[in-house]
Structure 1
Amino acid sequence: MAAELTVLALALILQGVQFVLYAVPANRELGPGYTMSARDREPSRSLSDRTSRLGRAMDNHFEGLILFTGAVVLVTVSGQANGFTALCAWIYLIARIAYIPAYALGWRPWRSFIWMAGFAATFAMIVSTLF
C-alpha cells in the first residue's frame, strides 16, 4: 500500500481517537441524560474549556480530513505518489497529532502554526500533482 494511503488510514484512526478524547469527558460533564437524548435543547450545564477545545479540535480534523483525503486520492489514483508526497502525508499526520494537545491546552500561537504545517503539507501534495 502506498505510504499516503497508510497515513490516511492512520489519520482516520486518529479521528476515532479524537472522538473518544472528546466524548468521554463530554459525557461526564453533561451526563448521559443529555448526551443520550435527541438534544432538542441546549444542555443545562456547560462543557469545560478543555473539553470544548477537544470538540473543536475534533471538528477541525473532520474538516482537514476532507482535503487530505482528496489529496491522497489524487496522488494515488494519478500514480504520482513519491517520496515528496509521502513526506507531506507524514507531516500532515504529525501536525494533526500535535494539534490535539496544542488546542486542548490553549497553546497560542503554536496551535495555529501546527495547523498551518498540516494544511501546507496537504496543499503541497495537491499542487505537486500538477507538475
Structure 2
Amino acid sequence: MTSTHFTIAYWCVLIAAVLPIVCAGLAKYGAVGTPRREGGFDNSDPRGWLARQTDWRARANAAQANGFESLPFFIGAVVIAHQLGAPQTQLDILAFVYIVLRLVYVMMYVAGLPSLRTLVWTLAFAVNVGILFVGYR
C-alpha cells in the first residue's frame, strides 16, 4: 500500500487560491462598516463598488483578478509535475518561490510600482513554467 501526503507544493496551491481573496479583503479594507452614503463598501453591489474604486483599492482589486487568472496554470503545473514524478524537493522549492513572488507582486501592484510589478510577474511566470517541466524527462 502506498502512502501519500499533502506536499508543500500542494499547500502552495491552497495559498495561491486564498491570495486573491486576501487581495479582495485588502481592497475593501476600512470601507466595510462605513455607511454606503459615505463611500463605504456596498455588499449589495460588491463588483460595482470595487469597479468604482481608485488608487490602491483599485490596484488591490486588479491584483485579485490577476491572482484568479494565474491560478489555473499554477494548479495545472503542480499537478502535472506530481504526475510526472518530479523530484519533490525541487517541486516544493519552486512552488514556494512562486508564492513568494506572487506575494511580492501583490505588494508591488498595491504600491503602484508597475515596472517592478511586471518584472516580478515575469519571474513568477518563468518559475511556473519551471514547475511544469521539473518532472520532464
With the length of structure 2 as denominator, give the TM-score of the two structures.
0.78
Q: What is the number of equivalent residue pairs in this alignment?
A: 127
- Corresponding residue of 2:57: 51
What is the distance in 2 between the residues matched to 1:80 and 1:129? 4
Note the C-alpha offset of 1:88: 1.2
Using a 3 Å threshold, how does the CA distance of structure 1 residues 75 and 23 change in structure 2: closer, same or farther? same
Q: Cα 1:37–1:10, aligned 2, differ >3 Å: closer, same or farther? A: closer
Moved more, 6-15 or 114-123: 6-15
Write out aligned runs for 1:71-86 (5 A). Answer: 71-86=77-92
Structure 2 residues not aligned, in runs of 5+: 1-5
Distance 1:48 1:38 in 2: 15
Preserved contact between residue 92 and residue 118 of structure 1 (Cα < 8 Å):
yes
C-alpha displacement of 1:92: 0.7
Aligned to 2:24: 19
Between the aligned partners of 1:102 and 1:38, the Cα distance in structure 2 is 24
- The Cα shift of 1:127 comes to 2.0
Deviation at 1:99, TM superposition (A): 1.0
Q: Compared with structure 1, are the counterparts of its residues 47 and 38 closer, same or farther at alpha carbon in structure 2 (3 Å cutoff)?
A: closer
- Say if 1:30 and 1:47, in contact at 8 Å, map to a contact too: no
Instruction: Give the match's secondary structure for 2:56.
Output: helix
Larger mean CA deviation between 60-69 and 83-92 belongs to 83-92
The one of 4, 7, 11 aligned to 2:12:
7
With normalisation by structure 1, the TM-score equals 0.81
Identity rate, percent: 24
- Which of 107, 114, 121 is the aligned partner of 1:108? 114
Q: Do 1:21 and 1:54's aligned partners in 2 also have CA atoms closer than 8 Å?
A: yes
CA-based RMSD of the aligned residues comes to 2.5
